[in-house]
Amino acid sequence: MSFEIKRLSEENSAAVAEIEKLCFSNPWSEGTVASEIKSGFADFFGAFSEGELAGYIGGRTIAGETEIFNVAVAPKFRRNGMAKALIGKFIEAVREKETQVIFLEVRASNLSAISLYEKSGFVFCGIRKNYYTNPTENALLMRLAFDGTQEYEEWDDEE
């Protein structure tokens, strides 16, 4: 399956919100997506297959640090390398902004996503207890540093 990655705009907010509904138990609304896209701090990229938005990645960069909000691929388009390509495009874009580090949270049970992030260079750096709801679950905090080190001081946000 072929796909093309493009920067998303507010016009793509409804399609992103539809993918959110397919992939997450607490999806973002179209309005929330549009607000983030137009904030000036966010980068959103989409993978398009035959003109249809098949997946996306979004995150925000402030003061040299980037947080990935979500990476999602609609179920019918999974296992085609889209998520990996979206992560690669996102990393390339935020490096141009001179970000120093990228953070993300992932459900502790989402082993396929954890593996994908590790293959993309992210390392575990903490736990956010009961971060997710529907169902309640811990989040693993992961980071990718661009200074060549992946050292961290392990922490737990409930201590």
Contact 19/56 with Cβ under 8 angstroms? Answer: yes
Whether 132 is a known active-site residue: answer no
Q: Pick the catalytic residue: 117, 131, 132, 154?
A: 117
Helix (H) or strand (E) holding 129: strand 123-132
Question: Which residue do the tokens 């690669």 mark?
Answer: 88
Is 87 within 8 Å of 53 (Cβ atoms)?
A: no
| Residue 138 near residue 102 (C-beta atoms within 8 A) | no
Residue 105 among the catalytic residues: yes
How far apart (Å, rounded) are the C-alpha atoms in residues 16 and 44? 10
- Angle at CA 39, nearest 5°, toward 37 and 44? 25
**Where do the H-state alpha helices sit in 24-100?**
30-37, 82-96
Catalytic residue among 36, 105, 132, 151: 105
Tell me which residues are annotated as active site: 105, 117
